[in-house]
A and B are shown apart, each in its own frame.
Chain A
Amino acid sequence: MKSPLRKRIFREVRKDWKKYIVLTLLMAFMIALASGVNVANDSMMAAIDESYEKYNIESGHFELKDQATPELLEKMSKEITIYEQFYKDSVEDFDGDGKEESSVRLFKIRKDVNLACIMEGRLPEKAGEIAIDRNHATNRKIKVGDIIYIGGEATEVVGLVSNADYSTLYKKNSDFMFNAVDFDVALLEENAWEEKSLGVVYEYAYKSKTELKNDSEKKEFSDKLMEHLAVLAATGGYTDDKDLAESARNDQALMMEILKNKDSINELKDFVPEYANQAIHFAPNDMGSDKSLVGVLVYVFIFVLAFVFAITTSNTITSESAVIGTLRATGYTRGELVRHYMLLPILVTLLASVIGNILGYTYFKDVCVDLYYNSYSLMTYETRWNASAFLVTTVLPCILMFIVNIVVIYRKLRLSPLKFLRHDLSTSKRKKARRLPSWRFMNRFRLRILLNNMGGYLILFCGIAFVMLLLAFSTGLPETLNHYKDNLGGNLICNYQYILKNYEDEEGNEITTDQEGAEKYSVTSLETIDGAHVGEEISVYGFTEGSRYVHISEELKDNEVWITSPYKKKFRLKEGDVITLKEKYENTSYEFVVKGVYDYDGGLAVFLPQKNFNKIFGHEESAFSGYFSQEAIHDIDSELIYSVITLDDIMSIATQLDHSMGGMMDMVAYVCLIMAVLIMYLLTKIIIEKNSNSISMIKVLGYENGEINSLYILLTSIVVVFSALATAALAIGGLYVIFRIYMGSLNGWFDVYVSAWGIAKMILILVISYAIVAFFDMIRIKRIPLADALKNVE
């Protein structure tokens, strides 16, 4: 015979359907979110994994200063197959007003390696046609058939593509952040590309001839390869032995031998192995962290809901104590009753899992995929059904629900049958009621209610903390980005940082400018070898004495430097610390002593006097890298300029984050509001139900509804406001910690900023949510019948 107690389950649900609907929906929503993220993520990841073969993604690429001679290429091809993938950088103008609106990297249609996935339309077939990046097109609202202006020439967009080696639109691998708004990667028909009179960047993609299994093998291989390529380029293919090449400095005969290949002598300008290429790996890495973040959120939330359930069941056990005592007295085992009370939470979790998974696989998967497509240039995908999503969205929530409930219910049912029969469920050894301070009666009454419902109020506190953390994100992130953008302009070094290809022109004359206020400076890039983020690019600036742009008056010795405030914060540095930075593609490292902190939010950088800079890096005394200037410089030939850094470049991280997450933050705020209302509704309902007999009794005694509200609703309001204030601080602390961890995985840094108004807004959203709940609670209290207190039955 099946336990007849099971028949109670559905009646219990029917009796309290509102509560169970809210619980099921809340849980289903969170599971749907987790399921959506998991399915979208795993399907997309599978597509990315397959893309290596499908689109023949490179093992890496390198850039040479000049086009490599066939001889040099042959020497370089010992361990790798090399493919030309030259590109030209140009600008886009979307409305033909002549204003540059975005930069664009133009490739010929690549046929052997890094193939394009056509998302819409087709590839260009003739001059005047272009296929642009799908994500960039969406961001800029460009459709197939639109005419855009590339370097001033009208061009028809015939296709939208995703390039396998640019799933994240990083202009340079060392960039602070990708930028799918202001940067595009586009394909032209071969002849059309050749006809563009723009500077060519000689980039070569390569595929390794041996299969490299993991990142450490890839790293070992590419470290060696980079050294070989650099030496081969520098010696025109004479040798790949670094020591031999270096000995040529003192070996005239050897030098002469090398110079026989003069035409092949080149320079390795850039080298990016696939495993370290942010444009390929940022999207999958970020998607992986999304999955973990959503997973954690879902578990925290289900943990809170599990406690809500446990408290509900605990209250039911209290109200049914005589029945439980009777059942135990007649021979029901504790296990049978534990199983009975466990059934409902598990059933609701299973039901929520089913609903959540259906929603996850249908609606939420598409929402997540859209979010990914909004940020990244991902290729097409197929929905994958997978076991890990089932584990995360069904098995683990059930286990979590089971553990929390079994602990609470088992503890509650541990008491003897006699205690249940006597309604004596207190586990405290305290014989007398806790003494209260000599406050006014109503205040003592409230305090007594608080103490008697401590469990419920603690869960309310936890629920509010959870909602506040989400609110901190939704209000903190946009404020942080805006604050960064608003303040950046104020403490920039200058509006334009020109970097020249060389400080002398071909005739050996120093490149000068008549631009008023332009000032020479030196700059190079090194990378970190330890600390918060290994391999982070650090700009090292050499400033002239009495510089009008870098205001450091302190006399700095050889290796003494000032660091920027973001560098100090990210790596937790202080004055007197020694930092070690190394050359990117070499093993040479440098040690610097931190002497001061420079207030500059534009990036992680080190400042030292230019004369020390030249000495440390082995440059001539008169050498420099370019010019700082407040105004654009027009009198230097653009062929001589390597790059220009402007405010927009520095701000690209904030622009991209704002674009990727800004819209989502409003949605998070609304979700928070709904979740806050539902969680508070559930918990206050539980508290009022637990006290319904007492409320009924004081009604019988003649208390008016207003007075009862002032006892129960006012107390809960005080708890809500107190929790909101306390958890606002906790949530912002949490936001700082999470942001620090997040920034640790990125290049760059900016401070979390939440204004007083932001904090007030978080608290206000919560208080408004509670006001809605309190309104329903007042109705609920009003409806409690006087007869409840007089009933003799359970």
Chain B
Amino acid sequence: MTKEEFLTVSNVCKSFGTGDSRQEVLRGMDFTVAKGEFCVLLGPSGSGKSTLLNIIGGIDQADDGYIAIAGDKLREMDEKALTRYRRKHLGYVFQLYNLIPNLNVKENIEVGAYLSDKPLDIDELLNTLGLWEHRYKLPNQLSGGQQQRTSIGRAIVKNPDILLCDEPTGALDYNTSKEILKLIEDVNQKYGNTIIMVTHNNAISDMADHTIKLRDGKVRKNIVNDHKISAMELDW
């Protein structure tokens, strides 16, 4: 089945520092992601995957090349347009959750809903996330997994086109990690969002539609997974 091309990464280069301390993090990356695809950016530490995710998210800029979402090039957008782009199209999930400490679970999700004209039903989402009973708890009263589920809720409540996940299981134990991955898988299937997940965990690529392996700032392999398995079947 041929899928519609949604995200284009074309010859993206990025370096940090100047002179002797200059470090090339991305050295001309090229790949595309289809709409509704679950794509994993896999690579060891320092391979440039988080930098790439930030550029896709419009919070960092490429030195060269471009990123296009449904044909719109990010580098042609000014700051306001980028904010609008993030507001309309993107959801973000981070390794350390970044929840607002003095808002409860439901309110943290409302923080995402506020940005959308047509947000998902929050109560239904709380049930989907398994957070209904915890909806009035503050972040410091939750486990790591519950906090990450809340942060996923905050990201998807506005039903974004793309959900960017930066090592979402990096701070979680094995079982909780699998639960979170299952949740992301469910979200992908239920709402049809394109998911781009950065991880250094090889096993996760087995549940993805598409894996891009990175090393030293370059795409080393671009694998389409025809035999993906469910998150709960993963093992590492």
Q: Does B101 contact A (CB under 8 A)?
A: yes
CB-defined contacts of B97 to chain A, threshold 8 Å = 793
Find the B residue at minimum CB distance from A419.
B59
Are A418 and B102 in touch, CB under 8 angstroms?
A: no
Are B98 and A326 in touch, CB under 8 angstroms?
A: yes
Are A794 and B102 in touch, CB under 8 angstroms?
A: no
Known: A4-B103, A8-B100. A418 touches B111 (CB 8 A): no
Are B59 and A4 in touch, CB under 8 angstroms?
A: no
- Distance in Å from the Cβ of A20 to the closest Cβ of chain B? 14
The 18 listed contacts between A and B (C-beta, < 8 Å) are A2-B114, A4-B111, A5-B111, A8-B100, A11-B102, A322-B94, A325-B98, A326-B92, A326-B94, A329-B92, A330-B158, A331-B84, A333-B83, A333-B87, A418-B54, A793-B101, A793-B140, A794-B101
CB-defined contacts of A8 to chain B, threshold 8 Å = 100, 102-103
Chain A residues numbered 330-379 whose CB sits less than 8 Å from any CB in chain B? 330-334
Q: Does B217 contact A (CB under 8 A)?
A: no
Are A329 and B86 in touch, CB under 8 angstroms?
A: yes
Are A4 and B107 in touch, CB under 8 angstroms?
A: yes
Separation of A331 and B58 alpha carbons in the complex (Å):
10
Find the A residue at minimum CB distance from B117.
A1
Chain A residues numbered 8-25 whose CB sits less than 8 Å from any CB in chain B? 8, 11-12, 15
CB-defined contacts of B85 to chain A, threshold 8 Å = 331
B59 is contacted by which of A2, A320, A416, A792 (Cβ under 8 Å)? A416
CB-defined contacts of A421 to chain B, threshold 8 Å = 59, 94, 98
CB-defined contacts of A330 to chain B, threshold 8 Å = 86-87, 90-92, 112, 115, 154-155, 158
Separation of A212 and B100 alpha carbons in the complex (Å):
68
- Distance in Å from the Cβ of A24 to the closest Cβ of chain B? 19
Q: Does A214 contact B (CB under 8 A)?
A: no
Are B98 and A794 in touch, CB under 8 angstroms?
A: yes
- Distance in Å from the Cβ of A782 to the closest Cβ of chain B? 22
Query: Which residues of B are at the interface with A, using a C-beta cutoff of 8 A?
Result: 54, 57, 59-60, 80, 83-88, 90-92, 94, 96-103, 107, 110-115, 139-140, 147, 154-155, 158, 171
Known: A330-B92, A331-B115. A7 touches B107 (CB 8 A): yes
Are A322 and B171 in touch, CB under 8 angstroms?
A: no
Separation of A34 and B211 alpha carbons in the complex (Å):
68
Known: A330-B155, A331-B90. A792 touches B96 (CB 8 A): yes
- Distance in Å from the Cβ of A461 to the closest Cβ of chain B? 32
Are B102 and A322 in touch, CB under 8 angstroms?
A: no
A328 is contacted by which of B59, B80, B101, B155 (Cβ under 8 Å)? B59
Separation of A322 and B86 alpha carbons in the complex (Å):
17
B102 is contacted by which of A1, A3, A15, A792 (Cβ under 8 Å)? A15
- Distance in Å from the Cβ of A748 to the closest Cβ of chain B? 61
Q: Does A729 contact B (CB under 8 A)?
A: no
Separation of A7 and B109 alpha carbons in the complex (Å):
13
Known: A8-B102, A323-B101, A793-B147. 13 other contacts (CB 8 A): A1-B113, A2-B114, A4-B103, A5-B100, A5-B103, A8-B100, A11-B103, A322-B96, A328-B59, A418-B59, A418-B60, A421-B98, A794-B101
CB-defined contacts of A417 to chain B, threshold 8 Å = 59
Query: Which residues of A are at the interface with B, using a C-beta cutoff of 8 A?
Result: 1-5, 7-8, 11-12, 15, 320, 322-323, 325-334, 416-418, 421, 792-794
CB-defined contacts of B158 to chain A, threshold 8 Å = 330
- Distance in Å from the Cβ of A696 to the closest Cβ of chain B? 16
B103 is contacted by which of A7, A15, A418 (Cβ under 8 Å)? A7
- Distance in Å from the Cβ of B64 to the closest Cβ of chain A? 18
Are B113 and A322 in touch, CB under 8 angstroms?
A: no
Are A1 and B114 in touch, CB under 8 angstroms?
A: yes
B114 is contacted by which of A3, A326, A334 (Cβ under 8 Å)? A3
Known: A329-B92, A330-B87, A330-B92. A323 touches B114 (CB 8 A): no
- Distance in Å from the Cβ of A341 to the closest Cβ of chain B? 13
CB-defined contacts of A325 to chain B, threshold 8 Å = 59, 98
CB-defined contacts of A327 to chain B, threshold 8 Å = 111
Separation of A15 and B103 alpha carbons in the complex (Å):
12
Separation of A793 and B97 alpha carbons in the complex (Å):
8
Are A323 and B99 in touch, CB under 8 angstroms?
A: yes
CB-defined contacts of B140 to chain A, threshold 8 Å = 793
Are B155 and A4 in touch, CB under 8 angstroms?
A: no
Find the B residue at minimum CB distance from A9.
B102
Separation of A476 and B94 alpha carbons in the complex (Å):
61
CB-defined contacts of B60 to chain A, threshold 8 Å = 416, 418
Separation of A416 and B100 alpha carbons in the complex (Å):
19
CB-defined contacts of A326 to chain B, threshold 8 Å = 92, 94, 98
Separation of A710 and B114 alpha carbons in the complex (Å):
47
Known: A418-B60, A793-B101. A4 touches B94 (CB 8 A): no
- Distance in Å from the Cβ of B181 to the closest Cβ of chain A? 20
Are A331 and B107 in touch, CB under 8 angstroms?
A: no
Separation of A327 and B90 alpha carbons in the complex (Å):
11
Known: A329-B90, A329-B92, A331-B83. A792 touches B103 (CB 8 A): no
Separation of A15 and B102 alpha carbons in the complex (Å):
9
Separation of A329 and B82 alpha carbons in the complex (Å):
10
Known: A1-B114, A7-B103, A793-B140. A331 touches B96 (CB 8 A): no
CB-defined contacts of A320 to chain B, threshold 8 Å = 100-101
CB-defined contacts of A334 to chain B, threshold 8 Å = 83
CB-defined contacts of B59 to chain A, threshold 8 Å = 325, 328-329, 416-418, 421
Separation of A327 and B92 alpha carbons in the complex (Å):
9
Separation of A7 and B114 alpha carbons in the complex (Å):
13
Find the A residue at minimum CB distance from B144.
A792
Separation of A2 and B110 alpha carbons in the complex (Å):
10
Separation of A792 and B99 alpha carbons in the complex (Å):
12
- Distance in Å from the Cβ of A765 to the closest Cβ of chain B? 38
- Distance in Å from the Cβ of B1 to the closest Cβ of chain A? 31
Find the A residue at minimum CB distance from B57.
A329
Separation of A794 and B140 alpha carbons in the complex (Å):
9
Find the B residue at minimum CB distance from A794.
B101
- Distance in Å from the Cβ of B153 to the closest Cβ of chain A? 12
Are A331 and B101 in touch, CB under 8 angstroms?
A: no
- Distance in Å from the Cβ of B184 to the closest Cβ of chain A? 16
Separation of A416 and B61 alpha carbons in the complex (Å):
11
Q: Which of B87, B113, B114 has the most CB of A within 10 A?
A: B114
- Distance in Å from the Cβ of A326 to the closest Cβ of chain B? 4
Separation of A418 and B86 alpha carbons in the complex (Å):
13
Separation of A794 and B139 alpha carbons in the complex (Å):
10
A331 is contacted by which of B54, B87, B139 (Cβ under 8 Å)? B87
- Distance in Å from the Cβ of A4 to the closest Cβ of chain B? 4
Are B100 and A331 in touch, CB under 8 angstroms?
A: no
Are A4 and B114 in touch, CB under 8 angstroms?
A: yes
Separation of A1 and B115 alpha carbons in the complex (Å):
9
Find the B residue at minimum CB distance from A431.
B21
Separation of A329 and B139 alpha carbons in the complex (Å):
20
Separation of A1 and B158 alpha carbons in the complex (Å):
13
- Distance in Å from the Cβ of B54 to the closest Cβ of chain A? 6
CB-defined contacts of B110 to chain A, threshold 8 Å = 1, 4
Separation of A417 and B99 alpha carbons in the complex (Å):
15
Separation of A511 and B90 alpha carbons in the complex (Å):
106
Separation of A710 and B228 alpha carbons in the complex (Å):
61
Find the B residue at minimum CB distance from A325.
B98
Find the B residue at minimum CB distance from A333.
B83
